[in-house]
Chains A and B, each alone.
Chain A
Amino acid sequence: MTALIEASDLVRIYQIRRGLFGRPHPVRAVDEISLAVNPGETLGIVGESGSGKSTLGRMLLGIDTAQGGEVRFEGKPMPPLRTPEWRALRAKMQLIYQDPLAALDRRLTIAAQVGEPLEIHKIIPKQHQAARVAELMAAVGLRPDQAEHYPHELSGGQRQRAVIARALAARPKLLVCDEPVSALDVSIQAQVVNMLRDLQAENGIAMVFISHDLKVVRNIADRVAVMYLGRIVEEASSDVIFQSPQHPYTKALVSSVPVPGKRLEGRVILQGEPPNPASRPPGCAFHPRCPLARDICRALVPELRQIGDGRTAACHVVTGETAAIAA
């Protein structure tokens, strides 16, 4: 099967200044990331803040341009930003953010906003537009009378439903969801997650689901990539990655999820904070916090390697690199 979207060796470098008069300093937010998503598949991307997961999501859509590597959608390279070709392609890939209130226009009714993509991308004739909007609103579980409401009149969960309805309006093939349920209460979170899964199954949409919440990602994703400081450190199917994480960082991440009724004892609690992306440690970026770190980890950046059927990890210790060198 050919991948719907394929990224190879993506690099994004931001220039930041330290202090007002400091010299610009390059920060590698996304560092040589390759991934592929098949039609109808969900790829979960997890990582802590600053790991580059949101930047990666924006690069997949072409909103952030890559400084290295390329993104191919349906086998063709991504057209440059803001060209008519890019706009046409954007109808096929939509973005859902964490904060629905910021994503909605406060002065437009819900129906007007859900209908906007239909107008912009000239998807259906004007006379059918109202019917399609009603259909979309019903699909995401909004009541017909909420069509004339403004965003502030809806609850957080309803607003996120409106954002999803708008994203679906253009019949996308790919949805990039950046923390779509993080701002919602648990009971509502479950509603929206179930709805996303149903809509995906009905319409065969592929999804890139970016989140820091491992529990939600496990539930919705087929495959999961774990990011640390701009690089993927482990990738596997979501069934195995949470059951038997291999990379020491994934292990700590899975272990840090509080399970109701389970005590804190025996869990891996990582020391230290994620390092500043601007002063990336040499070698494996995780080595200062890693309980397994050896000399090689401080010197050499580990490559992502196959460690089993359909799973990869970037760790000298896990991939047996240290043994090979010692021998």
Chain B
Amino acid sequence: MGAASSNLVELRDLKVAFDGVQVLHGINLDVRRGEALGLVGESGCGKSVTWLAALGLLPGKASVTGSVRLQGHEISGGTRESFERVRGGRIAMIFQDPSSSLNPVLRIGRQITEALAIHRGLKGEAGKAEALRLLDMVGIPDPRRRFDLYPHEFSGGQCQRLMIAMALAGEPDLLVADEPTTALDATIQAQILDLLIQLRAETGMATVFISHDLGAVSQVCERVCVMYAGRIVEEGTTAQLFSEPRHPYTRGLFDAIPRIDGPRQRLIPIPGTVPNPKHLPEGCAFSPRCSRAVEACRSERPPLLSLSDGRQLACTRPVPAEERAGTKSKVAEEMLQ
């Protein structure tokens, strides 16, 4: 089956509950080889939990059900050893705060060569040579001289580059980047986004980019999933979602972002707040904040359905498609190829 599908990772009906409170309500998601997929949503929507659960990184009190397949092989519910063969080697993950992911009392050269020894069996001079190559690849200037420095001697942007170098050490097929630029300054953020795009072009690894920043996601990703309250509410190509968001929540997210160009206007917030996972509203979880909601939305939860233009949408009363929708999706298809 792995050979038949081109999907690298397949998540099926992935559910997560903490202390009996369900936070992830059945995620179905495919990541194709080499593609860049974005996961967007506000805090608490489950975008990070999805991947932490898939990689077995959640604490013991979390109950995870569902299937996670890597090239057709089931990895969820496996032993610690089976996870460890996947993590770092096949799927690597980087996080928002690089300085807390690095060991402060080990020299960075040692931390990277350690990863190389574990995942690729490179030791001694070979390991050091490869580590220097990786540091150069992620844009650390003068890696030979900085090989023996400690993490605190690097800036935040450079620590994130170090994390990326370490993630690349196992030559993964998929890099999951969880808010990798959120803690960084604007000009450094642009550098890291540029680096992620460039690395994907060079190595051909797939990227999952988790972020609340729609602008950053649109620059890195070809396909985007929008999540709300533990469910995917809309999924489509970046071009589709950005030119014509159909779910009122996706639309609301776009409207809420202040613009850097065009006339200055009053911001359009989404009213209310994200619901508490303990007390999710009946029906569509977004309905209490939705301006388009009708009675049916409050009683019946819309399933995620495929639309003719290729996107998936979970909404009873979506934002109407524009008339030129046909031509627009054609443009989107061209962008995909």
Main secondary structure of the interface of A (DSSP, over half): helix
The answer to the question of A147 belonging to the interface, with a C-beta cut-off of 8 Å to chain B, is no
CB pair A212–B218 under 8 Å, yes or no, is no
Q: Find B215's partner among A188, A216, A252, A260 (CB 8 Å cutoff).
A: A260
> From A185, which residue of chain B is reached at the shortest CB distance?
B42
> In the complex the two chains form, is B273's CB within 8 Å of A194's CB?
no
- With A193-B267, A273-B157 in contact, is A212–B253 under 8 Å at CB? no
State whether A194 touches B267 (Cβ < 8 A).
Answer: yes
B:219-260 near A, CB below 8 Å: 219, 238-239, 242-243, 252-254, 256-260
Residue pair A256, B186 in contact (C-beta under 8 Å): yes
What's the minimum C-beta distance from B179 to chain A, rounded to whole angstroms?
12
Contacts of A274 in B (CB 8 A): 185, 187
Q: How far is the CB of B158 from chain A (nearest CB, A)?
A: 7
Which residues of A, 147-185, contact B by the 8 Å Cβ criterion?
155-158, 185
Complex-state Cα separation, A253 to B43, whole angstroms: 26
Contact in complex: B193, A261 (CB < 8 Å): no
CA distance A242 to B259 in the complex (A): 11
Q: B273 near A186 (CB under 8 angstroms)?
A: no
- CB contacts (< 8 Å) of A238 on chain B: these are 264
B274 interface contact, C-beta 8 A: yes
What mask results when residues 143 to 158 of chain B are scored 1 for a CB within 8 Å of chain A, else 0? 0000000000001111
A258 CB within 8 Å of chain B: yes
Contacting pair B193 A264 (CB below 8 A): yes
Q: Which size bracket describes the interface of A in this complex?
A: 35 or more
| Residue B280, interface by CB 8 Å | no
B-chain residues with CB within 8 Å of residue A267 when the two chains form the complex: 190
Nearest opposing residue in chain B for A51, CB measure: B185
The interface on chain B, measured as residues whose beta carbon lies within 8 A of the other chain's beta carbons, has a size of 45
Pairwise interchain contact B155-A273, C-beta atoms closer than 8 A: yes
B279 at interface by CB-CB < 8 Å: no
Is B189 engaged at the interface, CB distance under 8 Å to the other chain? yes
Chain A residues with Cβ under 8 A from B256's Cβ?
A: 186-187, 189-190
Render B14-53 as a binary contact track against A, CB cut-off 8 A, 1 for contact: 0000000000000000000000000000110000000000
Flag if B189 contacts A254 (CB, 8 Å). no
Contact B269 A273 (CB under 8 A): no
Proximity bits, A257-274, B CB within 8 Å = 1, else 0 = 111111110010110011
Which residue of B is nearest A182, CB measured?
A: B182
A215 touches B260 (CB 8 A): yes
Q: How many Å lie between the Cα of A270 and that of B260 in the bound state? A: 19
Given A155-B273, A185-B274, A263-B219, residue A218 in contact with residue B264 (CB < 8 A): yes
Give chain B's interface residues, CB within 8 Å of chain A. Answer: 42-43, 155-158, 185-191, 193-194, 197, 212-216, 218-219, 238-239, 242-243, 252-254, 256-261, 264, 266-271, 273-274
- Given A212-B186, A253-B187, A260-B254, 17 more A-B residue pairs with CB atoms under 8 Å apart are A49-B185, A186-B42, A190-B257, A193-B267, A218-B258, A238-B264, A253-B186, A254-B260, A256-B189, A258-B193, A258-B216, A258-B219, A260-B218, A260-B242, A261-B238, A264-B193, A267-B190
Q: List 14 A-B contacts (CB under 8 A).
A: A188-B42, A189-B269, A190-B256, A190-B258, A190-B267, A190-B270, A215-B258, A218-B260, A219-B264, A238-B264, A258-B189, A259-B260, A263-B219, A274-B187
Using CB atoms and an 8 Å cutoff, list the residues of chain A in contact with chain B: 48-49, 155-158, 185-191, 193-194, 197, 212, 214-216, 218-219, 238-239, 242-243, 252-264, 267, 269-270, 273-274
